[in-house]
Structure formats: C-alpha cells, structure tokens
A and B are shown apart, each in its own frame.
Chain A
Amino acid sequence: MQFVTDPLVRLRDLSVRFAGVPALRGVDLDIGAGEAVGLVGESGSGKSVTWLAALGLLPPTAQVSGSVKLAGEELLAAPQSTLDRVRGGRVAMIFQDPASALNPVQRVGRQVVEALRLHRGLGGAAARAEAKRLFELVGIPDAGRRLDVYPHEMSGGQNQRVMIAMALAGEPELLVADEPTTALDATIQAQILDLLRRLQHEMGMALVLISHDLGVVADMCTRVCVMYAGKIVEEAPSEVLFERPSHPYTQGLLAALPAMVGPRRRLTAIPGSVPEPWNLPPGCAFAPRCERATKACLAPPDFRSMGPGHIAACVHARELVMA
C-alpha cells in the first residue's frame, strides 16, 4: 500500500539471523495509522520474529538488519531509552499464551499499574483507578477486586484480557497481537477477537494480527500479508486475497480450508513441508512444494502487481490469475 505521508510503521528489508541461520529474509511492510493488518503463515514463517525484531525484543544473539521506522523515526539503531518509551507506549504487544506471559508472582493489577506509571506517569490511587477502568473496558467482571488476584487465579481468557488492558495502558498507536487466541477455547477466542475489534475502532489504533488462522484474519483485517520461510509472499486487501489469491502458497492455504457454503469437497493439503531455514532452496523457497514450479523459479522472484494494493512474489502469478 502506498502512503503519501509516512505510514505509522515502515519496515524495509528487515532481516534476522540466529547464529547465521536466516529467520527473516527481507520484509517490507507499511502499517497505516488506524489500519488493521493480518500476518498469516505457518509456524516458523517469521510472523512473530518480524515484530519482536522491530521492537528490539529478540535476544542479543539475533543479528537484525534493515530499517524499522515509527512515524519516520528509526528504531533499529535507537538507544535503549527510546525503545523503552516506544514499547508499551506507542507500540504495544500481546502474546500467545497469556498464562505464561504474565508474571506469576505479581498481582495482575500491579502489572497494569507498572505500565501506567511508565507511560502515563500515574501513581497511587490514580493509577489504580485507571487500571480498574481498563479492566472494565476489556470486560473483566468485578474489576476492582480482580486487580488484586494473581494470574493463576484467572482463566486463560481473563488473563488475555489483562494482557490487553496492560497493552492499552500506554494508549498505543499500534497493537501487535501475536496469536492472541491460539491458546484459548473456541468460544473465548471469539470474545477476545470481538474485544480487539471493538477496541481498535473505539481507540482508533492500528492493529497487526498475527495468526496462522486465515479465517480469523479475514474477519478482522482489511489487509493481509502471507508469509512463507521468512518472507512476505503475497499482500492484498482481505477480500481480494480470499477471492483471487495469486501466489500458489496462498492458494494452497485456502484450498486446505473447509468451505462454509457449497457442496462438501475433499480438503487438499500442501505436499511436503516448510524447508529448514539453514537449507533453503535457491530462488523461490516454495518451489520444491509447488506443482507449477519451473526453471524460472530457481531465481528469487520479484513482487508482481496483481491489482490495486495486491502484490505476489511469484514468477507465475500473472498466468495463475489468467488460468
């Protein structure tokens, strides 16, 4: 997507290596203010690493290169104090397993108050009142009393609400939700997603939803990026991606989903498995699993424009659409 002014977040050629092994291989991505963008792909495709790298949350052994700009300000080489201000303040992140993402020996209210103190300078009774308001905002019943319980005394869904309240404490411009419902029951999943959608609209913040669940992303996001083996392979507005997927990998993912309407059909799995990051094929990383692969796929594919806001990294992309 093209922005006339600077987007809220602009990632350029973001790459990560762990002990020389590539985990992320040049990601370009823009997130506009107030926009909801989905990031889908299998485990290990680099969805989470992208955002952990952008916020400097990877261990020091990770080699990160490229550029991460927040409203024009470069974050990758930024001093620690800048990062501490950005994290939780302008960009907040919530994680997959809320039970282990909260400090088990601290009362949940105190963990929210810590964020309020850091980013909004609130302390004492004011911080507690605001924490209670946030708990009510994210739908925790009996908010005042719940401030004083420990994470193990709450359910997974309640803990994720605490995480969300904590993330909202700094009034962020962007919330990165990393598989926020994967560890939760199906009914709780829907509630948490509804909550995120409502909060995004009410607070006007941008949302990046990381998920391996295409259905969840389609429901929540206006734009979707599909990642494979550390790269974005296709990016499109949600409805376009689901109606006219251009990359064979995206098509494979959609073919593996059961259809909600129409006759029952056999689900098709993508043959083979994701290549090991230390043993990537030359050129297109998906080629070994792709039934359309040709010699041309041995060279790294460029992005091709498939329509407004729709790009795909596949040399066969255009013929695929024609076919």
Chain B
Amino acid sequence: MLRYLALRLARAALTIVLVVTFAFVVLRLSGDPALIIMSPEAPVEAIEAFRHAWGLDQPIWVQYLDYFRAIAHGDLGVSFRDGRPAIELVSERIPATLALTIPALMLKLGVGIPAGIHAALHRNSTSDRLVMAGAVAGFTVPSFVLGLLLVLLFSVQLGWLPSGGQESWRSMILPVITLGFGGAGVLARFTRSAMLEVLGQPYIRTASAKGVPWRQVVRGHALPNAAIPTVTVVGFMVGSLIAGAVVVESVFSWPGVGRLLVVAVSNRDLAVVQCILLLVASTMVASNLVVDLLYGVLDPRLRAGATAGAH
C-alpha cells in the first residue's frame, strides 16, 4: 500500500513538472513580454534594461533552471506588471472563484446524480427522456452561449438579476447556474449509464432472488457499485474547481482566478500565468490522487496490495 502511494505521488509530481515545463516553454516562445509590457515604441535601451532586470536576456534553459530553483524555495515569481508576488495576486482571487465553483459543484451533484439515478430506474419512461434531453442540452450548449442567453432573459428582458459584477449574492445566481448546468448534464448521463450497467448485473438479480425489497436492492447493492465509475467524473469536477470558470468569469466579469488568467496571458505576465497553471495542475493532480485512493475504499477488488494476505 505504501509502495503504491509512493508511486502515485511520484507520478503526480511528474505530471505537475510536465505541465509547468510545457507552460514555461510555450509562453516564452509565443511573444516577448518586454515588447508587450513596454510597448514596441519604447526606446531600445529601456526594453533591454527590462529584459535584463527580469532575466529575459538569459538563454531559455538558464531561465528554466532559475525558475525551478525559485519554486523549490517557495518563490513563484513577481508580476511583471505591478511588481507584487504572483502568489499574492492569485491567492486573493481564489475566494471569488470558489464562491462560484463550489455552489456550482453542489448544483452538479445535487441535480445530476439524483436525475441520473431516477432516469436509470425509470428507463425509457417520459421522465427518463426528459432528463436525458436536458442532459444533452446541458453539455452541448457552450457555457458562454448559455451565460449570454441567461443574461438576455433574466437581466435584459426581465431585469430580475444583475448581468455581471460582484455586488451581492444575487450576482452569483446566473454564473452558478451557467457553470452547474453543463456539469449536471454530464453527471446525469454518467450516473444513468453506470446505474443501468449495474442493474443488469447478476448480483442484482441475486439480491432480488433472496427477497431483498427493491428499494433496498437499489440502495444497498446497486448504488455502491454504480458509485465507482461516477467518482471519476466527480473527481474531475473537484479538480477543476479553480480553473473551471475561466469562460464564465469572463462572461459575467467576475473577478476570479479565471479572469486573472485571461488578463495575465494577454499581458504576457509570465509569473502570474505560471503560478495559476501550477495551481491548476496541482489541484487536478491532487483530486486525481484522492479519486484513486477512493477507488480503493469503494472497490475491494482494487485493494490488491492491502488484501493479498487473505489468500
């Protein structure tokens, strides 16, 4: 078990290193931050001075090694734009993003999973078809389209809710629905197919054949088995709590991490972009790790190392 955990941790660390490296290379090759920040009309000496000050005149591999050395010391760099540490800029935006993504996750779980279970238990009924139609709409309509439609209806036409900004809790309603709808659709479809798969298994028939009432068959035998594939999707959603709202934050001008990322990329504010990507990669990798460990809890067949002694 420890060996397994160590292996998984090593793989997680490698994933993060790869993401950071990729981002580093692509960002350095896709435009000169000095020209963007200083404007191309600036005197050559000023641009050179900027490059020198930020180490941009060094060969890329030197910059790369310096960057990793700094990370190892907990230094994630300083914003080119206002000279504040990148980590500070990013972390002050995190609460705003979580204020959208956590309620949206609740919405996904609270609507998607029950809807999927209901659809599976009433397969081919009218309610099944309705749920599936809603689910397909949920994950095929892009969030910027849905967001704009909601704004058009509830802000422009009806005037019930603000179209953007962060004034009160009412500003959260539209972005949360926009974020949650698609995920709820994905989860409903996934839960439904996981349940249908499980309900067709012989052990479900066995449970009925031994006299277990149907509700208890569903609760005690079907759901614990159907949870195993569903956890994967939920894990992915948890992993994207930080970065999953880039588009929606832009549509609703919400001051979160996503908007910061868009602005930082267009400004070539490398330290900030890299800091956000590192954060995103870490949360995704961490939630993946938790999912893997959860598998072991949910499915005894995967606890190979832990139960080898039972044979």
Interface of A toward B, CB cutoff 8 Å: 52, 55, 57, 80-81, 84-89, 92-93, 95, 97, 100-106, 114-115, 118-119, 149-150, 152-153, 163, 166-167, 169-170
Cβ-defined contact, B203 with A114, below 8 A: no
Task: Flag B61-94 by CB within 8 Å of A: 1 or 0 each.
Answer: 0000000000000000000000000000000000
Partner of A89, one of B211, B213, B300: B211
Q: Given A100-B203, A105-B225, A149-B310, do A55 and B209 touch, yes or no (CB 8 Å)?
A: yes
Contact residue range for chain B? 20 to 34
B213: chain A residues within 8 A (beta carbon): 80-81, 84
Given contacts A89-B211, A97-B202, 7 further A-B contacts (CB under 8 A): A87-B208, A88-B212, A92-B209, A95-B202, A152-B300, A152-B301, A166-B206
Task: Flag B187-220 by CB within 8 Å of A: 1 or 0 each.
Answer: 0000000000000011101111111111000001
CA distance A320 to B203 in the complex (A): 45
A84: chain B residues within 8 A (beta carbon): 211-213
Cβ-defined contact, A85 with B211, below 8 A: yes
Interface of B toward A, CB cutoff 8 Å: 201-203, 205-214, 220-221, 224-225, 228, 298-301, 307, 310-311
A169: chain B residues within 8 A (beta carbon): 210
CA distance A153 to B205 in the complex (A): 21
**Chain B residue, CB-CB nearest to A93:** B209
CA distance A86 to B205 in the complex (A): 15
Q: Given A104-B301, A150-B300, do A86 and B211 touch, yes or no (CB 8 Å)?
A: yes
24 contacts between A and B (CB under 8 A): A52-B205, A81-B213, A85-B211, A87-B209, A87-B210, A92-B209, A93-B209, A95-B202, A97-B202, A101-B206, A102-B203, A103-B203, A103-B221, A103-B225, A104-B299, A105-B224, A105-B298, A114-B210, A149-B310, A150-B300, A153-B307, A153-B311, A166-B206, A166-B210
Partner of A92, one of B210, B221, B300, B307: B210
Cβ-defined contact, B211 with A80, below 8 A: no
Min CB gap A79→B, angstroms: 12
CA distance A118 to B298 in the complex (A): 25
**Chain B residue, CB-CB nearest to A145:** B310
Cβ-defined contact, B206 with A115, below 8 A: no
Partner of B210, one of A97, A100, A115, A150: A115
Min CB gap B9→A, angstroms: 26
Min CB gap B120→A, angstroms: 13
Cβ-defined contact, A105 with B211, below 8 A: no
B212: chain A residues within 8 A (beta carbon): 84, 88, 114, 118
A105: chain B residues within 8 A (beta carbon): 224-225, 228, 298-300
